[in-house]
Amino acid sequence: MNILVFAEVRDGKLKKSSLETLSEAVRLAGPLGGKVGVALVGEGVKAHAETLGKYGAARVFVAESPRLKYYASEAVAKAVVAAHQKLGSGAILMAATSMGRDLAGGVAALLGTGAAADCTGVSIEGGKVRARRPVYSGKVYATVAFKKSPAVVSLRPNVFLAKEVGGAAALEDLAVVFEDADFRSAAREVAATSQGKVELTEASVIVSGGRGLQSPENFKIRDELASVLHAAVGASRAVVDNGWRPHSEQVGQTGKTVAPNLYIALGISGAIQHLAGMRTSKVIVAINKDPDAPIFKAATYGVVGDAMEIVPALTQTLKKVLAS
């Protein structure tokens, strides 16, 4: 079975989550003797084909247009479908970013097939694709099958390992003609909220703060710890609702879904809606003064104590350890 991957380019860079998705496609296609193709769609994106080849893409299908400077659902979906038709793929994979989640539905609708969003596992046996995905805010995992082919699957960022395998992809232009009707909905402008900082959904380390940090000023202890660890910063909804931190930092059911290698929760109770956004993190460290806080049930390591005392001490110690 051939597998098509959609590669997302943001600010001129290939998303790490797209490389993770590509590596997973390579891992799945290998035993099946299938080829992995990549749809590369946007403005001036062709140069990324070389990197995609290094990560195992055999064919890269390019659709470029100045009108695709920003994401346009229908136009990009049309190009992905054109790439799928060239490759003859049995599965179409993309990262479950905001763009990927939107695109998966559009591609599935165009092809009259089904889409599974935010998956943490994929298997292909006997030509049948199965996807594992968290449901009920991550309390349960469901394994879903597809009635029709191709299966459209978006993969949760930071769950799969991106691995360079060496190689070069054949570059093929997709002769897609974009029409005005393909741009009925399109982004006109992108206002970056996290310029210069590590993007939350791509980060491998995240330090998040909750209401237990007590005031907006105290978030500097979160930021200092994050800076030492080159981490992204997150927050609970309680602090976002209080206006202490912007919504772009919110982790959880109504915020961002993250799955870093390390998630440090400072003064966060661990409500189910917060856990929904971070419980698939590989290692969770919780600092909370209440030994019965639900976050400790999800945590790999827990420290019971006052974050205002522990965090500055931890930051100082890490500074010394990382400098030596």
Ligand X SMILES: Cc1cc2nc3c(=O)[nH]c(=O)nc-3n(C[C@H](O)[C@H](O)[C@H](O)COP(=O)(O)OP(=O)(O)OC[C@H]3O[C@@H](n4cnc5c(N)ncnc54)[C@H](O)[C@@H]3O)c2cc1C
Question: Is 211 one of the binding residues for ligand X (CB under 6 A)?
Answer: yes
Query: Which residue of 93, 307, 314, 315 would you call a contact of ligand X, by CB under 6 A?
Result: 307
- CB contact at 8 A, 275 and 298: yes
Question: Is 267 one of the binding residues for ligand X (CB under 6 A)?
Answer: yes
Question: Is 29 one of the binding residues for ligand X (CB under 6 A)?
Answer: no
Tell me whether residue 113 or residue 273 sits nearer to ligand X (CB atom). 273
Q: Please tell me the distance from the alpha carbon of residue 20 to that of residue 307, in angstroms, as a whole number.
A: 34
Helix (H, G, I), strand (E, B) or coil at 128: strand
Could you give the string, one character per residue 54-73, with x where binding to ligand X holds by CB under 6 A and - elsewhere? --------------------
Q: Please tell me the distance from the alpha carbon of residue 136 to that of residue 101, in angstroms, as a whole number.
A: 18
Question: Is 252 one of the binding residues for ligand X (CB under 6 A)?
Answer: yes
Question: Is 303 one of the binding residues for ligand X (CB under 6 A)?
Answer: no
Sheet holding 205-209, edge to edge: 232-235, 205-209, 262-266, 283-288, 301-304
How near is the Cβ of 41 to ligand X at its closest, in Å? 30
Q: Give the H or E element holding residue 99.
A: helix 98-111
Tell me whether residue 18 or residue 236 sits nearer to ligand X (CB atom). 236
Query: Which residue of 32, 144, 171, 308 would you call a contact of ligand X, by CB under 6 A?
Result: 308
Looking at the chain, how many residues does it have?
A: 324
- 158 sits in the region (left: phi over 0; alpha: psi -120 to 50; else beta) called left
**Residues with Cβ < 8 Å from 211, sequence gap 6 or more?**
236, 238, 239, 242, 267, 268, 269
Tell me whether residue 30 or residue 216 sits nearer to ligand X (CB atom). 216
Q: Give the H or E element holding residue 24.
A: helix 16-29
Tell me whether residue 45 or residue 295 sits nearer to ligand X (CB atom). 295
Question: Is 314 one of the binding residues for ligand X (CB under 6 A)?
Answer: no
Question: Is 248 one of the binding residues for ligand X (CB under 6 A)?
Answer: no
How near is the Cβ of 296 to ligand X at its closest, in Å? 10
Interface residues toward ligand X, by CB under 6 A: 210-212, 236-239, 250-255, 267-269, 271, 273-274, 277, 287-290, 293, 306-308
